[in-house]
A and B are shown apart, each in its own frame.
Chain A
Amino acid sequence: MSHSGAPAGAAPEHGPDAGGAPAFARAASVTPLLLLDGLSHRFGRVEALRGAALTVRPGTVHALLGENGAGKSTLMRAAFGLLQPDRGELRWKGAPHRLASPAAALRLGIGMVHQHFTLVPAMTVAENVALGGHGRFDPAQAAARVREVATRAGLTLDPDARVGTLPVGAQQRCEIVKALARDVELLILDEPTAVLAPGEAAELLAWVRRYADAGNAVVLITHKLRDALAVADDVTVLHRGRTVLTTRAADSSQEALAAAMIGDAATGHGNTGPATTGHADTGRADTADTVGTSSAGPVATGRVVLALDGVSVRDARGVLLLREVTLTVRAGEIVGVAAVEGAGQHQLLRVLAGRMDASSGRVQRPARVGFVPEDRHRDALLLDAPLFENAALRGAGARRGRMPWAALRAHTSALLARHDVRAPHAAVSARTLSGGNQQKFVLGRELADEPEALVVENPSRGLDFMATAAVQSALRAARDGGTAVVVYSSDLDEVLLLADRVVVMYAGQLIEVARTREAAGRAMLGSAR
């Protein structure tokens, strides 16, 4: 955890302050580059921000930590003009501003690289970078500008490549160049390592450090403690929309930060339970380096429920998305799938769940396989239909004759009770449920007819801590009940937490690895064994 020295001209540091006040900023004689204070904002009935604060010193890396739903992205979207907070003030170099749009933020010198890229796949890198300019457009000039900015920042990027054909890491570099081309002084990176393999992530973080050392400021939004402590100078922790901790990285520890993220005050109490906090990334998953944490069951010896033998999947254009995958999943075990975006896990899960056909190879699969997709609004729910109609979706394809609505209503009420889904009754529309309750409902629906296999994709995405815990324990309960479970999470720590066995997808191929961070990380990048 080495850091660059304090910015030139700063007063000597005061002692660590575990409270909310940014003592170091007051002490420094340098005006903060960006100051956010007392920001509050609601979306509908949800209070996303409750008086959050953030102070960024020039030339530093500032990590903004917090678990899912803490308000990190919301806070920085306000800083980038993507939303106008209900209350609070923003100061840039000491002067107050109201940012009405990203254009205003860019004019000040604030740039943002989003978690979900805002790149036009059909256009080239140069065109994407040039987007938002004025007047005549010269493709050659645009390409030259890309080369110039990329070289200056130390990134490699081909200006004429169509973004849709680039791998994720390159797309991210394009996003970064896009921001840098605007001559920004503060670069906000929103969960940049979420889509990268460990090796790529390390490269990116190293670049962030070099970039800050060159005199620029970076806000790194992340829920990964390790990443934050590796490169940050300052750290701010958000919990439930409030700033609960602001400190120099050097003056803090993983335990204190983790505690703050979960919501235990600076007393640094431990976690609320064994290994349910994968998202808070307390570093416990590090102990998975040694075999046999408490969450793993014995090596499964049940019968084979799911089996793929030499399975390949081609898309409409003939491109191979899965290459001769062989995998068996037995009853009573959880197989965790780790992969970077676009490695073929999407197709793997759907072939296992019977939602996609293999182009070649053998697939053994029971008649009933439960499937919980990543995008529940798009793929799992009829948002404007009552819950009992949503429950009736399961098996709708094969049903014949009349719909037994009375029985289905009763069945739905029972489902709501069994899985602790907070809904007034079975006839409310799915839209009225919170994200966590929707996910619990979907999981309950898929488990209702006691399927022999369950396939789950990013089960805790977008859920808060409590809902995440409920979902994870439901998965374990299914496993204990004899279901064969396959879980994919883009969060490697969650995979390591839940899985009895770990397999990794890389470029359409599947290999099994040891349940360690190191082994999985290397395999995710293609350097296996």
Chain B
Amino acid sequence: MMQESSVLAIGGGFLEATVRTATPLAFAALGECISERAGVINIGLEGSIIAGALGATVAAGVLGVGGGFAVGALAGLVVAALFAFFTVGLRADQIITGTAITMFALGLTGTLYRSIFGAAGVALDTPTAGVVRIPGLAELPLVGGALFAQPLATYGVTLLAFVLAWYMARTHQGLALRAIGEYPDAAIAAGITPRRYQALAVLFAGGMAGLAGATLVLAQAGTFVEGMSAGRGFIAIAIVVLGRWRPLGVAAAALLFGAANSLQVLFQSMGWQGVPYQLFLALPYLLTLLVLAGASGRAAAPAALGKR
């Protein structure tokens, strides 16, 4: 009986870590999903995440956790606006622009962080988001902690996935978005202005990525570290592929990556030694490569993705 309960405990811990780690990934990926449906691949998403992280760090000290999330979303949105100006407005190459935006945001956040918090730079008094337990359900074995004892952000992103799924399938705007990403000329002939939709989609993705960054700080790390986005913006792109550009699929794919991130926790609690911890750190990136190489992924992509 001791065995069973410790298995449940370990499993529960792993699942809880999975869901927690998946939350920022899901925010970023859901945002990117909408952007890519509109035909824009936002390599600069990473920049929005780190901007959101810094914005949340700075704002939470003054405005509390809620304010932190709001400002984080705004910061991500501003970075995305810059990206949209170049790619949707000037029709510049999406990949090069996105890369430059990411470099820019990483550098700028580093600069601002140092000048705000000093060269030693540790934001010590950032408030963190508390866990919201749903009474009764949170006590369920194995899944209780994972599903019903998470910060608000997790419940938020779950709701977001469902809302986006409904939006894409059951509104004319969702239909228009799909058309723009598949065959923009058809949208134009139907009286739709692709640029407006694309700009809004990119901004939305930026806001969601900003929320992802805020979640990283306020609901996970508890502080800001330079470069803490650690490639999540790019991993989000892989998650969108794995989720077949469908919001619910994307949310599920984010869980997979959350699990990869949490494997280290699992291995350690099971007492399995001998595997260098760098392998666990590298796992999400290797998984991204594997997912992207999965042949069936390409076929489901919006046909006009990345085209100017």
Do A and B interact directly, with beta carbons closer than 8 Å? yes
B186, A131: Cβ atoms closer than 8 Å: yes
Contact with B along A404-438 (1 / 0, CB 8 A): 00000000000000000000000000000000000
Q: CA–CA, A101 to B186, complex, Å?
A: 14
Q: CA–CA, A180 to B262, complex, Å?
A: 56
B191, A137: Cβ atoms closer than 8 Å: no
Q: CA–CA, A103 to B188, complex, Å?
A: 9
Q: Does B176 contact A (CB under 8 A)?
A: yes
Q: Which residue, of B175, B188, B189, B303, has the highest number of chain A Cβ atoms within 10 A? A: B189
Residues of chain A contacted by B182 (CB below 8 angstroms): 120-123
Q: CA–CA, A135 to B170, complex, Å?
A: 9
Residues of chain B contacted by A402 (CB below 8 angstroms): none
CB distance from A29 to the nearest CB of B (A): 34
B186, A118: Cβ atoms closer than 8 Å: yes
Q: Does B292 contact A (CB under 8 A)?
A: no
Residue in chain A with minimal CB distance to B302: A122
CB distance from A384 to the nearest CB of B (A): 15
Q: CA–CA, A106 to B191, complex, Å?
A: 8
Q: CA–CA, A116 to B185, complex, Å?
A: 10
B175, A130: Cβ atoms closer than 8 Å: yes
Within 8 A of A (CB), among B139-175: 169-172, 174-175
A119, B186: Cβ atoms closer than 8 Å: yes
Report which of B172, B188, B192, B193 forms a contact with A136, defined as CB distance below 8 A: B172
Q: Does B187 contact A (CB under 8 A)?
A: yes
Report which of A101, A116, A119, A137 forms a contact with B175, defined as CB distance below 8 A: A137
B191, A122: Cβ atoms closer than 8 Å: no
Contact with B along A122-136 (1 / 0, CB 8 A): 110001101111111
B179, A131: Cβ atoms closer than 8 Å: yes
Residues of chain B contacted by A116 (CB below 8 angstroms): 185
Report which of A101, A131, A178 forms a contact with B176, defined as CB distance below 8 A: A131
Q: Which residue, of B179, B187, B191, has the highest number of chain A Cβ atoms within 10 A? A: B191
Q: CA–CA, A135 to B171, complex, Å?
A: 6
B183, A136: Cβ atoms closer than 8 Å: no
Kindly state the interface size class of chain B when it binds its partner: 20 to 34
Q: Does B190 contact A (CB under 8 A)?
A: yes
Report which of A120, A135, A137 forms a contact with B186, defined as CB distance below 8 A: A120
The A interface, classified by DSSP as helix, strand, loop or mixed, is loop
Residue in chain B with minimal CB distance to A142: B175
CB distance from A212 to the nearest CB of B (A): 23
CB distance from B251 to the nearest CB of A (A): 22
Residues of chain B contacted by A138 (CB below 8 angstroms): 170
Q: Does B20 contact A (CB under 8 A)?
A: no
Q: Does A263 contact B (CB under 8 A)?
A: no
Residues of chain B contacted by A130 (CB below 8 angstroms): 172, 175
A120, B188: Cβ atoms closer than 8 Å: no
CB distance from B303 to the nearest CB of A (A): 7
Q: Does A102 contact B (CB under 8 A)?
A: yes
A121, B183: Cβ atoms closer than 8 Å: yes
Tell me whether A136 and B186 are in contact in the complex, defined as CB-CB below 8 angstroms, given that A120-B179, A122-B303 are known contacts.
Answer: no
Residues of chain A contacted by B169 (CB below 8 angstroms): 137
Q: Does B178 contact A (CB under 8 A)?
A: yes
Q: Does A314 contact B (CB under 8 A)?
A: no
B189, A114: Cβ atoms closer than 8 Å: yes
Residue in chain B with minimal CB distance to A114: B189
Tell me whether A131 and B170 are in contact in the complex, defined as CB-CB below 8 angstroms, given that A120-B182, A122-B303, A123-B178 are known contacts.
Answer: no
Q: CA–CA, A120 to B175, complex, Å?
A: 11
Residues of chain A contacted by B172 (CB below 8 angstroms): 130-137
B170, A127: Cβ atoms closer than 8 Å: no
Residues of chain A contacted by B189 (CB below 8 angstroms): 102, 112, 114, 118
B185, A136: Cβ atoms closer than 8 Å: no
Residue in chain A with minimal CB distance to B304: A120
Within 8 A of B (CB), among A275-300: none
Residues of chain B contacted by A127 (CB below 8 angstroms): 175
CB distance from B36 to the nearest CB of A (A): 14
Residues of chain B contacted by A106 (CB below 8 angstroms): 191
CB distance from A397 to the nearest CB of B (A): 26
CB distance from B153 to the nearest CB of A (A): 29
CB distance from B13 to the nearest CB of A (A): 42
CB distance from A264 to the nearest CB of B (A): 37
Residue in chain A with minimal CB distance to B170: A137
Report which of A118, A123, A133 forms a contact with B188, defined as CB distance below 8 A: A118
A120, B183: Cβ atoms closer than 8 Å: yes
Residue in chain B with minimal CB distance to A130: B175
A102, B191: Cβ atoms closer than 8 Å: yes
Contact with A along B190-207 (1 / 0, CB 8 A): 111100000000000000
Residue in chain A with minimal CB distance to B168: A137
Q: CA–CA, A128 to B175, complex, Å?
A: 9
CB distance from B181 to the nearest CB of A (A): 9
Within 8 A of A (CB), among B222-272: none
A119, B192: Cβ atoms closer than 8 Å: no
A136, B191: Cβ atoms closer than 8 Å: no
Q: CA–CA, A112 to B193, complex, Å?
A: 18
Q: CA–CA, A120 to B176, complex, Å?
A: 11
Q: CA–CA, A133 to B182, complex, Å?
A: 17
Q: CA–CA, A137 to B168, complex, Å?
A: 10
Contact with A along B264-306 (1 / 0, CB 8 A): 0000000000000000000000000000000000000001000
B303, A131: Cβ atoms closer than 8 Å: no
Q: CA–CA, A127 to B177, complex, Å?
A: 12
Q: CA–CA, A67 to B174, complex, Å?
A: 41
Residues of chain A contacted by B186 (CB below 8 angstroms): 118-120, 128, 131
Q: CA–CA, A114 to B172, complex, Å?
A: 23
Q: CA–CA, A146 to B51, complex, Å?
A: 47
Between A and B, 25 residue pairs with Cβ closer than 8 Å are: A102-B189, A102-B190, A118-B186, A118-B188, A118-B189, A118-B190, A120-B179, A121-B183, A122-B303, A123-B175, A128-B186, A130-B172, A131-B175, A131-B186, A131-B190, A132-B172, A132-B176, A132-B190, A132-B192, A135-B171, A136-B170, A136-B172, A137-B169, A137-B170, A137-B172
Given contacts A101-B191, A103-B191, could you give 12 more A-B pairs where the C-beta distance is less than 8 Å?
A102-B188, A118-B190, A122-B182, A127-B175, A131-B179, A132-B176, A132-B190, A132-B192, A133-B172, A134-B172, A135-B171, A137-B171
| List of 4 A-B pairs having minimum Cβ-Cβ separation, nearest first | A103-B191, A132-B190, A118-B189, A131-B190
